[in-house]
Amino acid sequence: MPSLIDRLYSFGYILGDTCVEKGLKMSGHGSPRPMTSRRCGPLKGEAHVPGDKSISHRSMILGALSVGETHVTGLLEGSDVLDTAKAMQAFGATVERLGEGEWTIQGVGVGGFAEPEQVIDCGNAGTGVRLIMGAMATSPITATFTGDASLRSRPMGRITDPLALFGAASHGRSGGRLPLTLVGASDPVPVVYTTPVPSAQVKSAVLLAALNAPGETVVIEKEATRDHTERMLAGFGAEITTEVTDEGRVITLKGQPELTGQTIVVPRDPSSAAFPVVAALLVEGSEVLVPNIGQNPTRNGLFTTLVEMGADITFENERIEGGEPVADLRIKYGPLKGIEVSPARAASMIDEYPILSVLAATAEGTTVMRGVKELRVKESDRIDAMARGLEACGVSIEEDEDTFIVHGMGKVPGGAVCKTHLDHRIAMSFMCLGMASEKPVGIDDAGAIETSFPDFLPLMERLGASFRKDNA
């Protein structure tokens, strides 16, 4: 596993008194890294997971759009966020690393982005590229975006369509796919936009674009999605309100504010916490403490679902940090039952369905997940990726465009090598399955795990997991 210094250096940074840009280097994925996970004994100990990826991305972007210095601690230093940091440097902000998870951003203010000299490579970061496009769309500059093979396959029309309403123009591959050049609006206008699908990325891109548009921009979402952007915009000084109406959540932002740099303590990521939490529920005799996990109600749907399945989870030391609710999670192994997950909960746990499907395979009875079509346009088609991998491991599943059903069987046979499709959550999910399956479970490539949870493998091994690098 590369060290943090190696990762920072490979993504265009060097360590010292400051963290300086060496030039926008392509974020190549490298050679595949096959791995195998095998049945292990009880998992014990504390699992300290990375900082929240959603908040880390937004800290970099909003810091760059502010006047003065933003000081961030607890930042997730995975490749996704490092690519966003490089992008902010390319747009003119000064970004420095002070120590582990501690960064400063000297912003250029709303409307102050400079035109980047080189292509913006966002690696695997779907959140990063979509939010960055929104942030630059109402400035009179042009930028070209690319990414790895996975990101280049993902649809960007859901972002570029609403940005066009502000006056931005995009030129990309069919379906609006990367590489894509975005020409920012020279004379932006405010918009009223109803999101066609529940997506915090779409909502956030529109709100970030609205910052440099005059007047009031209104975003209407029929189903609530994670609200980090709204909370953080208000914290940086934007005038933003949210009203719950019969139409849904109506979010109104007054354009052209002066954002002011802030001190941000990034809470631990609930999506990353999902993996040691579920692993402890998978492996007989386990007891694991996962401290400092964000409990924002727009993000914690998985934990509600696990409790409904009968999981022994205690929420200890509940508190508010940096405006976000936080708790320490204590998880103990115990029997679980399949349930029908409320579709209304999908937006609050969309990234956690892959690992939930692993747990569902070991539960008693059937788990039905509806309203999950958004999974098909993530880093991979996550329904297809999990369905094929679970089937290869002996699990019976059903699926359609918007539904994923897993028939629990207690002990999963395992014995397969599962394709990850360059998707970090698919890779980590099958590594967790191997901890409890009768035969080992392999993955074709562990490399993508670096994008969101660089310490996943050693952290799980410290708890008691048994992994093997293949072809090493």
Q: Which residues are known catalytic residues? A: 351
Half-sphere CA count of 471, side-chain side, radius 13 A: 10
Which of 406, 424, 37, 442 lies closest to 269, judged by CA? 424
What are 410's two structure tokens? 């207690």
Q: Which parts of 65-196 fold into alpha helices (H)? A: 79-90, 126-136, 149-152, 157-166
Q: Using CA atoms, how far apart are residues 19 and 13, in angstroms rounded to an integer?
A: 6
Determine the residue type at 326.
V
Determine the residue type at 461.
E
Give the Å distances, CA to CA, from 84 to 1, 63, 72, 97, 245. 22, 12, 14, 14, 34
What lies within 8 Å, CB to CB, of 314 at 6+ separation is 329, 330
Q: Which parts of 220-269 fold into alpha helices (H)? A: 228-236
In contact, 175 and 152? CB cutoff 8 Å: no
Cβ burial, residue 23 (10 Å; 0-12/13-18/19+): exposed
Which of 352, 360, 431, 343 lies closest to 396, judged by CA? 360
Give the Å distances, CA to CA, from 315 to 118, 248, 275, 304, 335. 47, 30, 17, 11, 19
The string of DSSP codes covering 333-376 is: ----B--EEPGGGGGGSGGGHHHHHHHHHHSBSEEEEES-GGGG
464 backbone φψ class: left, alpha, beta (φ>0; ψ -120 to 50): left
Exposure string of 402-424, with b = 16+ CB inside 10 Å and e = fewer, is bebbbbbbeebebebbbbbbbbb
Cβ burial, residue 100 (10 Å; 0-12/13-18/19+): exposed
Q: Using CA atoms, how far apart are residues 315 and 291, in angstroms rounded to an integer?
A: 10
**DSSP type of residue 212:** T
Q: Using CA atoms, how far apart are residues 116 and 92, in angstroms rounded to an integer?
A: 8
| CA-derived radius of gyration, the chain | 21
3-class DSSP assignment, residue 152: helix
